[in-house]
Structure 1
Amino acid sequence: MRLTSFTDYGLRMLMRMASEPQRAFSSGELADEFNLSRNHLTKIMQRLAQGQIVRTQRGAGGGARLAVKPRELKLGRIVQLLEQDQPLVECLSADRGNCTIDGQCRVKARLRSAEAAFLRDLDKATLADIALPTRAPA
């Protein structure tokens, strides 16, 4: 299984945020740290906010904060949220893609089962388990 860069960067951002869960992180700060465009980071942050994993606040003193305690946030939930529009294979998409063997295929059920097992295994760990070390003040 391969995760999208969207999920990869989402996990990295959350790992950083979990290192200082009370702190607000600006988009610019996180974009610079991960060498990512601010626009791409904003899209990831919006998805995390829609999933109620982070809270965002505009303006001075604003930024993004975790909305859930890191020890209460299962990794499978995060990955499922970030990968929600990325089916494992085309035939698992909502419109079933352009599969010419739909209804005869025996692999689809196995792939669904494998994906569910993958997410269950990720749910054995929390964001607290993978948080980055706290950075010392510069």
Structure 2
Amino acid sequence: MKLQKSTMCGLYAVLELAAHADQQISAGDIAEKYAISLNHLAKVLRALVRARLIESVRGPGGGYRFSGNPKRVTLLDIITLFEDTAPDLEQAASDDHEESRALHKMLRDIDGIAMTTLRSISITSLLKVIETERRKSERTSHGQSVRLSSAGRA
């Protein structure tokens, strides 16, 4: 599945804000961390504010903060803000051959499985996966630096 740039920006922003739910984070900080255009990110943040997933905090030290429930907000909630996830009913109606109908039925089934999966992954779950990956990466890089330093002594 290929997601639009806006969708990826939205996912990055929500994950960043949910990971630091006790803080307000500026759009500039998010844009810099993920190498996103600030103008593009601003549009995405407005959509997330309209969806009430995040809130804008004005004034000195302002920025954005996550306002949803990370245990209830799912990947699908964010993706549907930026992607058309509706099935292609027009294509299904024009199928003239059994092979085409069977293929499109399978593709609709696959889409259904993907939607169910995205609906089942909460922000909290994804943040746990991110933390696990971060720890693995730190252990790996720490192990490599230990091996390098001990190889230098040999």
TM-score (norm 2): 0.67
Once the two structures are TM-superposed, the CA of residue 102 in structure 1 deviates from its matched residue by 7.5
Match of residue 48 from structure 2 = 48
Aligned length: 123
Aligned mates of 1:53, 1:16 — CA distance in 2? 12
Contact 2:18–2:123 (Cα < 8 Å) also in 1: yes
Aligned mates of 2:27, 2:9 — CA distance in 1? 13
Match of residue 151 from structure 2 = none
| Mapping 1:70-109, distance limit 5 Å | 70-83=70-83, 86=84, 92=88, 103-105=93-95, 106=101
**Structure 1 unaligned blocks of 5 or more:** 134-138
Find the partner of 1:127 among 118, 123, 128.
123
**Counterparts in 2 of 1:34 and 1:110: CA distance versus 1, 3 Å:** same
Aligned mates of 1:11, 1:118 — CA distance in 2? 17
Which structure is higher in RCO with an 8 Å CA cutoff and minimum separation 6?
A: 1
- Aligned partner of residue 120 in structure 2, secondary structure: coil
- Aligned partner of residue 24 in structure 2, secondary structure: coil
Once the two structures are TM-superposed, the CA of residue 114 in structure 1 deviates from its matched residue by 3.4
Once the two structures are TM-superposed, the CA of residue 108 in structure 1 deviates from its matched residue by 6.0
**Counterparts in 2 of 1:75 and 1:87: CA distance versus 1, 3 Å:** closer
**Counterparts in 2 of 1:59 and 1:116: CA distance versus 1, 3 Å:** farther
9-18 vs 40-49, which moves further: 9-18
Aligned mates of 2:76, 2:46 — CA distance in 1? 19
Contact 2:18–2:65 (Cα < 8 Å) also in 1: no
| 2:104 pairs with 1:114 | no
Aligned mates of 1:113, 1:80 — CA distance in 2? 18
Letter in 1 for 2:67: A
TM-score (norm 1): 0.73
Aligned mates of 1:102, 1:119 — CA distance in 2? 18
**Structure 2 unaligned blocks of 5 or more:** 96-100, 132-154
Report which of the two has the higher share of helix. Answer: 2
Contact 1:21–1:70 (Cα < 8 Å) also in 2: no
